[in-house]
Chains A and B, each alone.
Chain A
Amino acid sequence: MTTSLLEVRGLKIGATVYPPGEKPHDIEIVHGVDFDVEPGKVLGLIGESGAGKSTIGLAAMAYGRGGVELTGGSVMVNGRDVLQSSTRDVRRLRGAEVTYVSQSAAASFNPAKQIMEQVIEAAVLHGKFNKSDAEQRACDLFAKLGLPDPDNIGNRYPHQVSGGQLQRCMTALALCPEPDLVVFDEPTTALDVTTQIDVLKAIKDAIRDTGVAALYITHDLAVVAQVSDHIMVLRMGEMVEYGTTDEIINHPKEDYTKALVSVRSIEHEEKQPTEPVLRVENITARYKGTKFDVLHNVSVDLSPGQTLAVVGESGSGKSTLARVITGLLPPRDGTITFAGRTLTPDQPSRSIEDLRELQMIYQMADTAMNPRQTVGTIIGRPLEFYFGLKGAEKQKRIQELLDEIELGKGFQDRYPAELSGGQKQRVCIARALAAKPKLIICDEVTSALDPLVADGILKLLLELQKIEDVAYLFITHDLATVRAIADSIAVMYQGRVQRYGTKSEVLTPPFDDYTDLLLSSVPEMKLGWLEDVIANRKMESAGN
């Protein structure tokens, strides 16, 4: 085949792993993968974390991140095998024929240098343009990508532009040297949902206008459906299914692909509000040393055994609300009533009963656990602290809790490092449940997890709610999650509750402009969705 720009055959990738308690050894993480990318076409690589998709993407640039080694097969770019090329030839390829857009532009731009210098660096280095032509091209790209003030934005430093803008600058950086292939590695995953679709549209248009080919890596099938011509589904370093976007989305053959396509199949019947267990009234709050309120007059109720979803973009004040309720940030004004008692504003003055009945689960299960304690110690701590359980009694209760979170007996003696992401979050849930709380605040508990794993956690939470009759205050930016589990919803925007009511009320039109923007921005697994949404918008997204 001479038409292929990128031709990967039998690609094998290995890495050295350092598991706790074992000797370091080599493992294979990609087990022989074949695929082609034709000029001007976009191939979506999709899979969960650990599927090897980023590793494969970087292999197109002969790059192994960390201790990763490209051990076998061939990667032909424009007819040359980059795995057999000298270091010098590989450097000539990188940044000239193949370029890269990373997930976090904020981390991938050098904070000490102006954006323009970094955007044109590769083009000038490889002699594609002289400095002034490269700058002109960069400005054209900035304009094409919809960046404000395209002629001057390059003079800014990375910290002076927003996350969504920086992600577009990163795309300009990749397109500036007129490459043949761009590797997009989760370019919109770190962005807010309303910002994501603008960036997605900008990337899609830029790909179309420049005629560049692309590898588009993501875990979100709905996103990849909007930009790719073909999709390859990966799982644990092996190809599961390959086909045109239409085939994969509408007629998946493999069970795993079907599971990915039909994710979010949670059945949850909405409950009607009753006498609330938590009542937040007219809360106004600001952070110490700042001059602006981050919460304005926020009031919400939560009924026992139900779920209130608090949704909004980053900076909307949803996590601040959790800090106020837990007493970590005493409010300037307003009251919080919990289980019939008025809570004192600051956490240290609260009774042990208040502390016990109000538990929290965090986004990063990793950092919420002491890495030097076993699962048994972690779950056992609240049992000792709140109930004074000891010895056999405590062990029995730990075992019950481990059963409830669907982890077996052997997990008690494991350390957090020996658990997967989903298992860690389950341990955090067990730790919260151990206190027999009336309310658990869940702060983005599934956003760091893969879709299928996140689904499992949500199902578990709903199951536990039935058994323990615990209420959840569920903070999230993910509307699909909200649809799946909420009984009532509060939409937050710039520190205010924009829309509040039962789930059916909030999700039934007519919408206010912001709720409409938020709801319509959730990617749908439908071809052509992106164009429809952009055409029907009433409001610019906040991240612009």
Chain B
Amino acid sequence: MHPILKLVAERLGIGLLLLLAASALIFGLTEVLPGDAAQAILGQAATPESLANLRTEMGLDRPAFTRYFEWLGGIMTGDMGVALTNKLPIGDQVASRMSNTLFLAFWAAIISVPLALVLGLIAVRYQNRWPDKIISGITLASISLPEFMIAYLLIFFFAVQLFWAPSFASINDSMTLLEQLHAISLPVAVLTLVVLAHMMRMTRAAILNVMQSAYIETAELKGLNTFAVIRKHAFPNAIAPIVNVVMINLAYLVVGVVVVEVVFAYPGMGQYLVDAVVKRDVPVVLACGVIFAAVYIILNIVADVVSILANPRLRHPK
């Protein structure tokens, strides 16, 4: 078998194991928390008898192991269970929430990733000169501010003062794409500012590291201009570390948007999770946890695979 296929298969296997471990951990954590679904439903009015009855009815009196595997089996067949609060199947709600979150993450990524790479290249080209310092300064400032702070600042200026964009990012299927984009413009801007610095600085550091190599001197002695040297000879060798950071930030765009979704009242996964936690809707919390874990693991596998593919020694063995 080609060594690359083997490495990719290995990564996929490890990813599956990791996901299994994460599901067990999430389930275990909700188990050790005080109270359970029965308690949550009955609330303050619970008597020991009614609690015991409801637990038997819901199967909660059975051992945790049995319930874990039952739950796991359900997830693997696409059945995530029923929400306690509204008795609706979790799967349907997750689907619509997830598509909203991915829509937001997608547009944030489309803007932030190329922008970070280009800014990183410019920072290298003008290393330690004013363009580098301005780029570093602005991106560092934006990552240093808490995201809700950036969000409120943007709302204040662009929604309250200038009326350019709505402060509530509610979208639905009846809107056109342009209307939707207009609705999410502020959350996308916030997310972009939050993830930009990390990716841009890694791009800068990874390329600068490569710029020390002897083959960069070879390229300069061929008469290439500095930007061509960076683009043609430095960047291809800096892909692996850059992709890793990009993927971590993409994962953040999906699973880390809780604050931004709450501030802009955006109907995504983050809102959904926060609601479920407040209402102690354990099955929903479990489902969200597993989905977030899966997103993280998948994106990291993608990063690993791209790093492997970027290495000519693995792509073209001797």
Contacts and interface: CB of A to CB of B under 8 A. Distances in A.
A467 interface: no
A108 interface: yes
Contacts of B2: none
Contacts of A130: none
Contact of B221 (A92, A95, A112, A113): A95
A110 B313 contact: no
A126 interface: yes
Interface in A240-276: none
B236 interface: yes
B222 interface: yes
A290 to B, nearest CB: 15
B161 interface: no
Contacts of B213: 107
B313 A159 contact: yes
A114 to B, nearest CB: 9
Interface in A100-124: 100, 102, 104, 107-113, 118, 121-122
B237 interface: yes
A218 interface: no
Interface string B215-226: 101111111110
Contact of B223 (A92, A109, A160): A92
B312 A108 contact: no
A9 interface: no
A422 to B, nearest CB: 26
Given A110-B233, A159-B312, A96 B215 contact: no
Nearest to A183: B221
Contacts of B233: 110, 113
B222 A125 contact: yes
A489 interface: no
B316 interface: yes
Contacts of B313: 111, 157, 159
A111 B221 contact: no
A122 B222 contact: yes
B214 interface: yes
Q: How large is the interface on B (under 10, 10 to 19, 20 to 34, 35 or more residues)?
A: 20 to 34
A125 B316 contact: no
A121 B220 CA distance: 12
B220 A111 contact: no
B214 A91 contact: no
A160 B315 CA distance: 11
B75 to A, nearest CB: 39
A110 B224 contact: no
A112 B316 contact: no
Given A112-B312, A157-B312, A159-B318, A122 B215 contact: no
Contacts of B316: 156-157, 159-160
Contacts of B218: 100, 102, 108-110, 118, 173
A65 interface: yes
Given A65-B217, A104-B214, A111-B215, A91 B223 contact: yes
Given A112-B312, A157-B312, A159-B318, A107 B222 contact: no
Given A125-B222, A125-B224, A111 B312 contact: yes
A90 B226 CA distance: 13
Nearest to A106: B214
Contacts of B310: 112
Interface in B192-225: 213-215, 217-225
Interface string B282-318: 0000000000000000000000000000101100101
Contact of A110 (B220, B223, B225, B237): B237
B237 A94 contact: no
Given A157-B312, A159-B312, A159-B318, A108 B223 contact: no
A129 interface: no
B223 A126 contact: yes
A122 B221 CA distance: 9
Contacts of B220: 63, 94
A107 B221 contact: no
A96 B223 contact: yes
Interface in A443-466: none
A160 B223 CA distance: 26
B215 A107 contact: yes
B221 A99 contact: yes
Contacts of A157: 312-313, 316
A121 B310 CA distance: 21
A125 B223 CA distance: 8
Contacts of B318: 159-160
A121 to B, nearest CB: 6
A94 B313 CA distance: 30
A122 B223 contact: yes
A159 B313 CA distance: 7
Nearest to A158: B312
Interface in A60-115: 61, 63, 65, 90-96, 99-100, 102, 104, 107-113
Nearest to B312: A157
A134 to B, nearest CB: 13
Interface string A333-374: 000000000000000000000000000000000000000000
A181 to B, nearest CB: 12
Nearest to A97: B223
Contacts of A91: 223-225
Interface string A122-163: 100110000000000000000000000000000011011000
B314 to A, nearest CB: 10
Contacts of A159: 312-313, 316, 318
19 contacts: A63-B221, A90-B223, A91-B223, A95-B222, A99-B222, A100-B221, A102-B217, A104-B214, A107-B214, A107-B215, A108-B214, A108-B217, A111-B312, A113-B236, A118-B218, A125-B223, A157-B312, A159-B313, A173-B218
Q: What 10 pairs between A and B have smallest CB-CB spacing?
A: A95-B222, A107-B214, A95-B223, A94-B223, A122-B222, A112-B236, A91-B223, A110-B215, A100-B221, A108-B218
Given A110-B219, A121-B219, 19 more contacts: A90-B223, A91-B225, A93-B223, A95-B221, A95-B222, A95-B223, A95-B224, A100-B218, A102-B217, A104-B214, A107-B213, A108-B215, A110-B215, A110-B233, A111-B215, A113-B236, A126-B223, A157-B312, A157-B313
